[in-house]
Amino acid sequence: MTSAVSAAEPKKEAFGKTKDGVPVEIYTIGNKSGFAARVMTRGATLVSLHVPDAAGKLADVLLGFDDVSGYEGDGNQYFGCTTGRVCNRIAKGKFTLDGKEYTLAINNEPNHLHGGVEKSLDKLIWTAAPVSSDRGQGVRFTVSSADGDEGYPGKLDVTVTYFVPADQNAITITYSARTDKNTPVNLTNHAYFNLAGEGSATVLDHMLRINADNYTPTDDTLIPTGKIAPVAGTELDFRKRTRIGDRIESIGKTAAIGYDHNYVLNAAEDGGEMRLAAVLVDPQSKRRMRVTTTEPGVQFYSGNFLKGQAGKGGRTYAHRSALCLETQHYPDSVNHSEFPSTILKPGAEYKSTTTYAFDIDQPAGAVQKK
C-alpha cells in the first residue's frame, strides 16, 4: 500500500543502476485519495499504479519489478514501458519509404516487434522533469533517438507526460514527437493490468467491453492482411461486457494463442477526439478501469506468454494473470496504405493521448458511465 501524495510535490527516488552503471530514477505522482503511480526513467516506464477498491483498500494493479535490474532481466515482457519507435509488428522487419527500403531487427520471428532490440525506446534512459500544478501531479520524460537507431530513418525527439489529476483517480499519458526525416511513429504504453492486484492468479474472471465493431484479421505471424472485418459472430466480440475466460480456449490453439488482436475503435459518440476504447472490471474488488484515447485502435493481449516469472515482492506472474490494452495505430501500418498513416514528416508533430480512469463498478440498474 502507498500513502497519499501532496498534489504539488512528486517524490523522486533512486531505482538502481543499469548493467552499464547508469543511475535510474523513479517518481511517485498521485492524489489525496491514495491513488498513486510510479514512473521511472528507463523506458519512461509505468512501474506501479495503486488503486482503491470498493472498500477503499489500495492495491497495485500493474505487473512490474522492484528495481531496474528486473526490467533488464529475462522476466520483463515490456512491462509498463513506452513502446516504439513503432509499437507492435512490422512484417519481416522491412518497409519502403520515399523509394528506399529500410531493414529492422527481426526480434519476433519472422517480424520486427516494438521498436527493436538495443535502442528501442523502452531501453533508453529518458530525462525526467516534474510538471505539477494545483490541477495535479505529473512527470514529463524526453529522449532523442538518433537517425538510424534500430534501422529507422530520421532523428526522433520524443516527449511522454504522465499526469494524475488532483480530483480524479486517473492517469493520462500524452505523447508527442518530432523528426527531421519522414519516418514511421506509433507509440503506446505496454502496461499489464490485473485489477485484483498484481500477482493475483488470473485475469480470466475480469469482465471486458471493447468499443469496436471491427478488427484487423492477421496471418499466422500476426501481421494484418489489410482487411477490416466485423467482430460479430466471432470470439473477438466484446461489444457487450463479457467474461474474458468464456471463449478464450476456442482461440487458444490459433496463431495468437489467445487474445492478441487489434480492434478498430468506433468513433467518439460526441464527435470529439477522445474515443472510448475499453472498460475493464474486476468483479471481486469492483475496481473498474475506463480507457479513452485519441488513437484509432487498441491491442487486446491476454498475457499469453506470461511464464510464472517473479515480479514485485517475489510474487509470481502466472500465464494469463494480466492483460494489456495498448492504444495504437494498427500493426504494420507502414506497409498498408489502406490503414491510417503512421508517417511523421518534418515540421509536423506526432500527438497521442490515452487516459486510464478508475472508479467502482456499480450494481446492475445503477446509473453510471458506459
Cis peptide before 85 (omega within 30 of 0): yes
Type of residue numbered 137: Q
Residues 296 and 273: their CA atoms lie apart, in Å, by 10
The domain locations on the chain are 11-360
Model confidence over 248-281: pLDDT tens digits? Answer: 999 988 999 999 999 999 999 888 999 999 999 9
Query: Quick one: pLDDT at residue 5?
Result: 45
The reply to whether 190 belongs to the active site is yes
283-302 mean pLDDT = 98
121-129 mean pLDDT = 98
Q: What angle do CA 266, 205, 250 make, to 5 degrees?
A: 70
For residue 360, give the C-alpha cell: 467502482
The residues, any chain, with a CB within 8 Å of residue 234's CB and separated by 6 or more, are: none
Radius of gyration of the chain (CA): 19
Model confidence over 210-219: pLDDT tens digits? Answer: 999 999 999 9
For residue 119, give the C-alpha cell: 535502442
Report, in this order, helix, strand and coil percent for the chain, each rounded to 5.
5, 40, 50
Query: Quick one: pLDDT at residue 62?
Result: 98
The residues, any chain, with a CB within 8 Å of residue 314's CB and separated by 6 or more, are: none
Statement: residue 369 has pLDDT above 90: no
Q: Using 50, 70 and 90 to split pLDDT, how confident is the model at 7?
A: very low
CA-nearest of 290, 287, 316, 326 to 205 is: 287
Residues 156 and 185: their CA atoms lie apart, in Å, by 9
234-238 mean pLDDT = 98
Q: Using 50, 70 and 90 to split pLDDT, how confident is the model at 365?
A: low
The topology under which CATH files domain 11-360 is: Beta-galactosidase; Chain A, domain 5 (2.70.98)
CB neighbour burial string for 131-145, b if at least 16 within 10 angstroms, e if fewer: ebeeebbbbbbebeb
Residues 130 and 10: their CA atoms lie apart, in Å, by 7
For residue 351, give the C-alpha cell: 500527438
Chain mean pLDDT for the chain: 95
Please identify which of the residues 25, 150, 198, 326 carries the catalytic annotation: 326
Please identify which of the residues 50, 114, 190, 206 carries the catalytic annotation: 190
Of 5-19, 102-116, 329-343, give the lowest mean pLDDT range. 5-19
H-type helices in 65-172, by residue range?
Answer: 68-71
The reply to whether 114 belongs to the active site is no
Residues 303 and 322: their CA atoms lie apart, in Å, by 6
Task: Give the DSSP H/E element, type plus range, for residue 214.
Answer: strand 212-215
Burial class (CB in 10 A: 0-12, 13-18, 19+), 226: middle
